[in-house]
Structure 1
């Protein structure tokens, strides 16, 4: 466990926030203050609250960590004392460990020298949490930006994450990376493309890689992202459809034809709907069988002395029998009839 040492005291000093917050907020009815000044004042107050919230949660995590670790040494070995402490203060176990994780991350960043305590002042709470959960490479990029004095919000964390993803991925050709480096292709478009391509088999990854290298542009990246998403949906759904798996259909050839005609999205949606129909029918059949079994048991247990129960059975017979009738609207003008034929019967 990381001890609370001088670095913790430096953190308090860096945040420079008193225990009692007292802001001179602008009067919302004051017409003399410009909209720009009004927004600036409330934004400044909000940022102070954000930093105060971050400091509080780090310290909550440190406090809980101390209580948990003492319980490990002197408790009953099951953490009962720690859990009771949380219960008395109406803190959930998941919330407690979330705070502990935040404290551990903050202390690790400070102890490893990646982050100067004074730089924490540049983070919003949610940005710091995302940074703490990020990979070491992202943490380094974000903390370097914070130490330069940049204001770090979730937007900056996402932007730096996108940049690292784009420039480090082998799934993107050098031509695209060069465009990203000179700003011709914003990196925010590349991270979604990488994410979608990662879901595909190597053969499809190679094909998309080639297309991107031939015409490295924003429009190409957007189109390939859409294609990759539809490809993944098509392949995933196709593997789940029994009607396809039990046939001699060449799914890859059907895919190539859909790509050639520019109707991949339609084909992907069709296969996905087919998978849902099969799953729905399987679930329907099991529910229908259970309803029939319950109806049979209730019929045996009833007789002339239970006319209302018999009426209930008669009403539900249109759902539990071999021919099922369901009205598609309240008027009853449109009715669907299904006949159940099972090989098991």
Structure 2
């Protein structure tokens, strides 16, 4: 039997009176209330809503899971079915499975001992979902903080996740970890570095590690993170650009030269734009083929009895022919762009 997650009503300041849910909010026009006091009152009310929202969605997920499993494992012909049940209550399938996933996460956290039932009301909904998606070690850290009475928001989850990532990753040199342990380098700068470096081959990882080992400070970490991000973009996009697969250029050597002259971002942007351009051309060609086919079909089906339809087709001829023409801007200050589409079929 799964442990029940219950709202601690006394903690929430609601007592046992259900009517207390209609708590008083500050008057937005009351000038006697300071801005600090106004924000504090609104924040308390929002936290209460967050807690009840989380509790409600967990139980909605459990209810939906029961309905779904009844249909999945049952053989009762009178069963109304999961989708019909959702339709009657105007619940989308995606929303239903989001609630079920939340319920599954809650039950997993409870069963694994990473979370106490009495601690759930200390989480915001987004923080709870983020915790469920975190590594088990991070879940334990967050659960401990909640047991100690800390209010867990998305910010606390992100901070603990960053700390664990930075201090346990083999990609971060020990010299940098020592700086992080004394808060000389905040862990929020190290987590993005780990994520970007993980995308790179060992050779590039080693080069970046050497650079931050020599100068273990925040500026170097930021620079290394930017460098790693550019490298990852370059390496990913070069495999997607067909034009580069037909060249004899040494892509790794080109990258090294760009890094040497301080142009790693430019070369990463270059191949990214090249990849996007090829994708755009492919999409343009598919759209042009469809437009051309529709225009030809309408031209064959029309005739002298449809002068207005023929006029429309003539107006679109600049887009459906072999030369596509588009006017950018006004006639006076604009320009005309012409693209010639030539369809070559390569036979085997």
Q: Could you tell me which residue of structure 2 aligns to residue 8 of structure 1?
A: 4
Could you say if the C-alpha distance between residues 78 and 142 of structure 1 is closer, same or farther in structure 2, counting changes exceeding 3 Å? farther
How far apart, in 2, do the equivalents of 1:293 and 1:84 lie?
41
Q: Could you tell me which residue of structure 2 aligns to residue 336 of structure 1?
A: 337
Contact 1:295-1:313 within 8 A present in 2 as well: yes
Q: Which moved more, 1:149-158 or 1:30-39?
A: 30-39
How far apart, in 2, do the equivalents of 1:327 and 1:124 lie?
52
Q: Does 2:35 align with 1:39?
A: no
Contact 1:162-1:190 within 8 A present in 2 as well: yes
Structure 1 SS opposite 2:4:
helix
- Tell me the TM-score normalized by structure 1: 0.87
Q: Does 2:288 align with 1:288?
A: yes
Could you say if the C-alpha distance between residues 188 and 86 of structure 1 is closer, same or farther in structure 2, counting changes exceeding 3 Å? same
Contact 2:6-2:117 within 8 A present in 1 as well: yes
Q: Could you tell me which residue of structure 2 aligns to residue 84 of structure 1?
A: 84
Q: Could you tell me which residue of structure 2 aligns to residue 160 of structure 1?
A: 160
Q: Could you tell me which residue of structure 2 aligns to residue 222 of structure 1?
A: 222
1:103-182 correspondence to structure 2 within 5 Å? 103-182=103-182
Structure 2 SS opposite 1:338:
strand
Contact 1:326-1:337 within 8 A present in 2 as well: yes
Q: Does 2:237 align with 1:245?
A: no
Could you say if the C-alpha distance between residues 102 and 15 of structure 1 is closer, same or farther in structure 2, counting changes exceeding 3 Å? farther
Could you say if the C-alpha distance between residues 249 and 13 of structure 1 is closer, same or farther in structure 2, counting changes exceeding 3 Å? same
Question: What is the CA-CA distance between 1:56 and the residue it aligns to?
Answer: 1.9
Could you say if the C-alpha distance between residues 165 and 300 of structure 1 is closer, same or farther in structure 2, counting changes exceeding 3 Å? same
Contact 1:14-1:118 within 8 A present in 2 as well: no
Gaps of at least 5 residues in structure 1 are none
- Tell me the TM-score normalized by structure 2: 0.86
Q: Could you tell me which residue of structure 1 aligns to residue 325 of structure 2?
A: 325
Q: Does 2:213 align with 1:213?
A: yes
Could you say if the C-alpha distance between residues 343 and 191 of structure 1 is closer, same or farther in structure 2, counting changes exceeding 3 Å? same
Q: Could you tell me which residue of structure 1 aligns to residue 255 of structure 2?
A: 255
Question: What is the CA-CA distance between 1:299 and the residue it aligns to?
Answer: 4.0
How far apart, in 1, do the equivalents of 2:293 and 2:79 lie?
48
Gaps of at least 5 residues in structure 2 are none
Contact 1:15-1:120 within 8 A present in 2 as well: no
Residues 268-288 of structure 1 show CA distances to partners (whole Å, capped at 9, x for unaligned) of 212222222233233333433
How far apart, in 1, do the equivalents of 2:192 and 2:146 lie?
25
Question: What is the CA-CA distance between 1:153 and the residue it aligns to?
Answer: 0.6
How far apart, in 2, do the equivalents of 1:210 and 1:220 lie?
11
Question: What is the CA-CA distance between 1:296 and the residue it aligns to?
Answer: 4.0
Question: What is the CA-CA distance between 1:15 and the residue it aligns to?
Answer: 5.7
How far apart, in 1, do the equivalents of 2:219 and 2:156 lie?
24
Question: How many matched pairs?
Answer: 341
Could you say if the C-alpha distance between residues 339 and 120 of structure 1 is closer, same or farther in structure 2, counting changes exceeding 3 Å? closer
Contact 1:58-1:102 within 8 A present in 2 as well: yes
Question: What is the CA-CA distance between 1:297 and the residue it aligns to?
Answer: 4.1
Question: What is the CA-CA distance between 1:328 and the residue it aligns to?
Answer: 2.2
Could you say if the C-alpha distance between residues 228 and 301 of structure 1 is closer, same or farther in structure 2, counting changes exceeding 3 Å? same
Root mean square deviation, CA, Å: 2.8
How far apart, in 1, do the equivalents of 2:181 and 2:166 lie?
10
Contact 1:196-1:228 within 8 A present in 2 as well: yes
